[in-house]
Chain A
């Protein structure tokens, strides 16, 4: 994306905000127009009603008392100066009886019964010499004896009000539109800026800096949530990358030593005399060595797949049965090695898990115990319910592991047995750890009770 102070103008966020401000402005304009119409319309209707009422009153005076009564009524009204009404009463000859208009401005257009409002303007000299124009709405009626009555209502006050409203609307509309635009502009720039900061983080990560994190605001809005999720994802990704890199290094390291050992053996053989018997022996050793390398390689692959969640199908599992089977599988081997083996397996233990992987993890722990516990010592295999967890532990009274190394031995290829007198890939405990993680559980190594031996514990969430 091109940068520059107005680069955000091209963004979707900005366009959306602009569209919304325009819509907002249009709606406001519509609302103002409606208000204007409603107000002015109501005022017009009101003056019409009042004109009508006044006209009726006078018509009643005419009907009950004829011209005399009408004249009297009109005189009373003129004297009192009834607000904004104006009257003109002329006889059949056009002579003014009551009224201040010089003459009837418009010919009478209605007989009784067909009301019709006419509009005109009258001009009077204003207070400062200028003409004072008053718009009038009036009803003009020819009465029975030929005389003409005009009842009018002065419109100047109403027009002033309309003008005032018009002015307000005319001022408010552009201001509103402008404010909407400015607000839209800033909120769009804000949104574009927030989105841009996420984009920048993603771009930074793509260019190789996995440690970058998107800034998270305090408001907890959707951008913050997005940033938080992005960060969590990056966290996981970084761990995975680190694990992979570490595993790669470890693989290279762990495969290199047996392969170089192999190479050296073969090289040494090549230099010496080669006879049938020694060649056969060398080849047999070579095959054995290669088999070990392949087994390690397979174990690494499997471990990586478990770590990546690519292996394992979690199903309802009877753990009691599984543990009893494993106890039965290992018990003779312990007895053979002169180790006292005790299994304490609670009944009705169940969880959601992968049978093969759990069997492998527990078997790795039992394997280790059998390998590293001297004859005459004891192994205790326990599976029991601990509140919301199922705990499987293998405890021995052997030499154990120094406290300082308890965490380290869970890592891949870490073997305290430097001489490697026992067969093994150095992946057994790492596998147990990975299997525990896959089941959302924990794998811990501690000194045994009374600070003797080793206690390996798999703590897995029980089935709810």
Chain B
């Protein structure tokens, strides 16, 4: 993926660049809002990572102007302001995700990769998701693996849908809690892990190939 990072704090920008490069992405950086906006318009990036507090043009205004100008590149806000109101504000101006500082590198990578996927899968409405021999029929709300029909609770269905839409990518616990449960806080108990292990029992237990893997220290990955 080709990512534009707009962040004025040099050290922080370097850190983000390093983290994304290590994950195999190419990164370009801009250190103020105005410059960042023109770079975002000039080139076709796969994702924008935008700090909220920027010199010359605040992040909120940058994304708003970029969207009003017809820019469709997915954008992720980075901010030290983490409360829900700020998150909502960020999403309202047209950002696609929001990550509070400080963050774990795995979290950033997972979210940026999720953004890239969103754009490419945007055009034709998908009705069937496939990972290996696991198949999800979104209209009939049916899941099958090979010849076996798998019964899922509504929440398990949502969870699996999210994992399948981001197949091959690492998905963090926080992302699952946000996207599947719509909670913006961290329960200290391993509630998500338990849900995952239940899902795993349903989709993987009887089968040779394990699709749902745990990525140590980061989250989960559904992969054939």
Q: Write the residues of chain A forming the contact surface with B, with a CB cutoff of 8 angstroms.
A: 291, 294-295, 298, 301-302, 305, 310-311, 313, 325, 328-330, 332-333, 335-336, 354, 356, 359-360, 363, 366-367, 370-371, 422-424, 428
19 further A-B contacts with Cβ under 8 Å, apart from A330-B189, A363-B185, are A298-B100, A310-B83, A311-B84, A328-B155, A329-B183, A329-B187, A330-B191, A332-B195, A332-B198, A333-B190, A356-B84, A356-B185, A359-B183, A360-B183, A363-B183, A363-B187, A366-B187, A367-B187, A424-B188
Q: Tell me whether B139 is interfacial, beta carbon within 8 Å.
A: no
- Within the assembled complex, what's the spacing in Å between the Cα atoms of A363 and B197? 20
- Within the assembled complex, what's the spacing in Å between the Cα atoms of A422 and B188? 9
- Within the assembled complex, what's the spacing in Å between the Cα atoms of A333 and B195? 8
Q: Tell me whether B102 is interfacial, beta carbon within 8 Å.
A: yes
B85 and A329 contacting across the interface, CB-CB below 8 Å: no
A291 and B104 contacting across the interface, CB-CB below 8 Å: yes
Chain A nearest CB from B177 CB (Å) reads: 9
Contacts of A313 in B (CB 8 A): 84-85
Category for how many chain B residues contact A: 20 to 34
B182-224 near A? 1/0 per residue, CB < 8 Å: 0111111111001101100000000000000000000000000
User: Which of B100, B104, B183 has the most chain A CB atoms inside 10 A of its CB?
Assistant: B183
Q: Tell me whether B15 is interfacial, beta carbon within 8 Å.
A: no
User: Which of B85, B100, B185, B190 has the most chain A CB atoms inside 10 A of its CB?
Assistant: B185
Chain A nearest CB from B135 CB (Å) reads: 25
Task: With A291-B104, A328-B155, A363-B183 as known contacts, state yes or no: A333 contacts B188, CB within 8 Å.
Answer: no
B102 and A294 contacting across the interface, CB-CB below 8 Å: yes
Contacts of B83 in A (CB 8 A): 302, 305, 310-311
Contacts of A332 in B (CB 8 A): 191, 194-195, 198
Q: Tell me whether B82 is interfacial, beta carbon within 8 Å.
A: yes
Contacts of A298 in B (CB 8 A): 82, 100
Of all chain B residues, the one with the shortest Cβ separation from A290 is B102
- Within the assembled complex, what's the spacing in Å between the Cα atoms of A371 and B187? 11
- Within the assembled complex, what's the spacing in Å between the Cα atoms of A302 and B197? 31
The number of residue pairs between A and B whose CB atoms lie closer than 8 Å in the complex comes to 61
- Within the assembled complex, what's the spacing in Å between the Cα atoms of A428 and B188? 10
B185 and A423 contacting across the interface, CB-CB below 8 Å: no
Chain B nearest CB from A54 CB (Å) reads: 97
Of all chain B residues, the one with the shortest Cβ separation from A294 is B102
Chain A nearest CB from B87 CB (Å) reads: 9
- Within the assembled complex, what's the spacing in Å between the Cα atoms of A383 and B102? 35
A370 and B185 contacting across the interface, CB-CB below 8 Å: no
- Within the assembled complex, what's the spacing in Å between the Cα atoms of A342 and B82? 34
- Within the assembled complex, what's the spacing in Å between the Cα atoms of A132 and B195? 125
Contacts of A360 in B (CB 8 A): 183, 185
Q: Which of A311, A354, A371 contacts B188 (CB 8 A)?
A: A371
Q: Which of A329, A366, A422 contacts B181 (CB 8 A)?
A: A329
B194 and A336 contacting across the interface, CB-CB below 8 Å: yes
B85 and A370 contacting across the interface, CB-CB below 8 Å: no
User: Which of A301, A329, A366, A428 has the most chain B CB atoms inside 10 A of its CB?
Assistant: A329
A356 and B190 contacting across the interface, CB-CB below 8 Å: no
Chain A nearest CB from B10 CB (Å) reads: 21
Contacts of A367 in B (CB 8 A): 187-189
Chain B nearest CB from A360 CB (Å) reads: 5
Chain A nearest CB from B172 CB (Å) reads: 13
Contacts of B191 in A (CB 8 A): 329-330, 332-333
- Within the assembled complex, what's the spacing in Å between the Cα atoms of A325 and B198? 17
8 closest residue pairs by CB, A with B: A332-B194, A360-B185, A333-B194, A333-B191, A370-B189, A367-B189, A311-B83, A336-B194
